[in-house]
């Protein structure tokens, strides 16, 4: 089997904009889709995103150029394909745009592998589980407490049994305001629904320890990225000081950076961004590495593909249910009892929704 052509499409996916977050960065999400076609008639699709609108064309160009490198290659030889992308391209990498673009191609390759074998990716990648926990990541975004509480109600109504919140506007404000926001959510969801807290790198280690202790009674599922991504020692100190699990890893590119977090015991749970890894092929290595440290793995973004990877591995913890890219596809996994139920459709099982294509295509 050989890859014969690549086509790239760019879509501006509309996003829910909570009060206080108005602006172009939030209103639409540039999403780049790669179509890899083969001489057998099988086509694989893979996607990637950029939160920086300024570089949408650069990302689409990079996806196309990496795709051109794949022409003539056997898509089933994913490691061989990767050896033509990540390692030789060290002048424009490692990391950055190279990885983000490579991810779309790597997902498309795995989609072809699955379709060729007639197997869904969750089984092909190990098949540890055929369903996987998911948390709502998009509803608890807002500056004021009432907006947060309404978001929590809607997430419960949608069937989620776990959801994630973030700090309010003032990252250096009073700890008691942080506590009040968390209490307001617990008042709505009770203690049978898991509550996750994402700090997005905005605390110092000492503030993280103080806040983490103050939040102890709320039994958070995890505190995510409490400190600056490069302050591995500071984050390890936070992880040592607190009983609540620390989850981190989404900001890092490539496998060695995540090994450092594991070695430093800076994480109780490892969050992996598939795009920053460069796709599924590299994700598998990170997942196995985390398993050796006894560390469960959680996903960051693109849940419609990532659910396969987290379900497949023995240390798969939970999927981030971020709805940004889902509107582009048909064949999404259903939500039941707080879990995504994976199907028998081969590959990742997704196809572009013709209506969404018509509405959102931008290049």
Question: Interface residues with Mg ion (CB under 5 A)?
Answer: 198, 224
Exposure letters 147-183 (e unless 16+ CB within 10 A, then b) = bbbbbbeebbeeebbbbbbbbbeeeeeeeeebeebbe
Length of the chain measured in residues = 363
CB nearer Mg ion, residue 120 or residue 234 = 234
Instruction: Give least dist CB 6 to Mg ion, A.
Output: 31
Rg (CA), the chain: 20
Ranked by CB distance to Mg ion, the top (closest) residue is 198
Instruction: Give least dist CB 321 to Mg ion, A.
Output: 13
In the numeric block, which tokens belong to residue 360?
């959102």
CA angle 233, 236, 241 (to 5 degrees): 130
Instruction: Give least dist CB 70 to Mg ion, A.
Output: 31
CB nearer Mg ion, residue 198 or residue 304 = 198
Instruction: Give least dist CB 137 to Mg ion, A.
Output: 8
CB nearer Mg ion, residue 223 or residue 342 = 223
- Exposed/middle/buried for 217, CB within 10 Å: 0-12, 13-18, 19+? exposed
Q: In angstroms, what CA-CA distances link 232 with 166, 208, 237, 259, 264?
A: 21, 14, 9, 11, 7
CB nearer Mg ion, residue 290 or residue 350 = 290
CB nearer Mg ion, residue 136 or residue 224 = 224
DSSP code string of 124-146: HTT-S-SEEEEEE-SSS--SSHH
CB nearer Mg ion, residue 136 or residue 198 = 198
Q: How far apart are CA 252 and CA 96, in angstroms?
A: 10
CB nearer Mg ion, residue 112 or residue 319 = 319
End-to-end CA distance of the chain: 29
Count other Cβ atoms within 10 Å, centred on residue 262.
18
Instruction: Give least dist CB 224 to Mg ion, A.
Output: 5
CB nearer Mg ion, residue 189 or residue 298 = 298
Instruction: Give least dist CB 247 to Mg ion, A.
Output: 8
Instruction: Give least dist CB 271 to Mg ion, A.
Output: 7
Instruction: Give least dist CB 101 to Mg ion, A.
Output: 22
**Tokens 């973004």 label which residue?**
301
Maximum Cα interatomic distance, the chain, rounded to a whole number of Å:
62
């Amino acid at each position: 089997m050989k890859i014969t052509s690549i086509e790239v499409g760019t879509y501006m996916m509309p996003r829910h904009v909570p009060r206080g977050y108005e602006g172009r960065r939030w209103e639409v999400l540039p999403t780049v889709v790669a179509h890899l076609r083969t001489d057998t008639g099988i086509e694989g699709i893979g996607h990637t995103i950029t939160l920086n609108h300024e570089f949408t064309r650069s990302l689409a160009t990079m996806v196309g150029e990496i795709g051109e490198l794949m022409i003539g290659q056997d898509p089933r030889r994913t490691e061989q394909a990767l050896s033509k992308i990540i390692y030789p391209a060290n002048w424009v990498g490692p990391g950055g745009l190279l990885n983000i673009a490579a991810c779309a191609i790597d997902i498309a390759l795995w989609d072809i592998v699955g379709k060729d074998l007639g197997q869904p990716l969750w089984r092909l990648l190990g098949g540890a589980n055929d369903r996987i926990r998911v948390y709502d990541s998009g509803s608890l975004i807002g500056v004021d407490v009432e907006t947060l509480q309404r978001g929590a109600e809607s997430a419960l109504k949608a069937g989620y049994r776990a959801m994630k919140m973030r700090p309010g506007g003032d990252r250096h404000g009073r700890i008691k305001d942080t506590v009040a926001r968390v209490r307001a959510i617990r008042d709505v969801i009770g203690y049978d629904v898991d509550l996750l807290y994402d700090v997005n790198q905005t605390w110092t280690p000492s503030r993280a320890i103080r806040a983490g202790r103050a939040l102890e009674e709320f039994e958070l599922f995890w505190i995510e990225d409490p400190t600056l991504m490069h302050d591995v020692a500071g984050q390890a100190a936070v992880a040592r000081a607190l009983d609540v699990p620390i989850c981190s890893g989404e900001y890092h590119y490539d496998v060695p950076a995540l090994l450092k977090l594991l070695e430093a015991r800076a994480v109780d749970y490892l969050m992996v961004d598939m795009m920053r890894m460069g796709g599924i092929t590299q994700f598998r290595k990170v997942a196995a590495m985390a398993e050796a440290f006894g560390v469960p793995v959680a996903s960051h973004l693109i849940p419609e593909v990532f659910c396969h990877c987290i379900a497949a591995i023995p240390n798969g913890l939970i999927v981030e249910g971020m709805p940004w890219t889902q509107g582009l596809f048909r064949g999404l996994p259903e939500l039941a009892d707080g879990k995504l139920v994976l199907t028998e459709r081969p590959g990742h099982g997704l196809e572009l929704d013709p209506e969404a294509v018509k509405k959102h295509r931008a290049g």
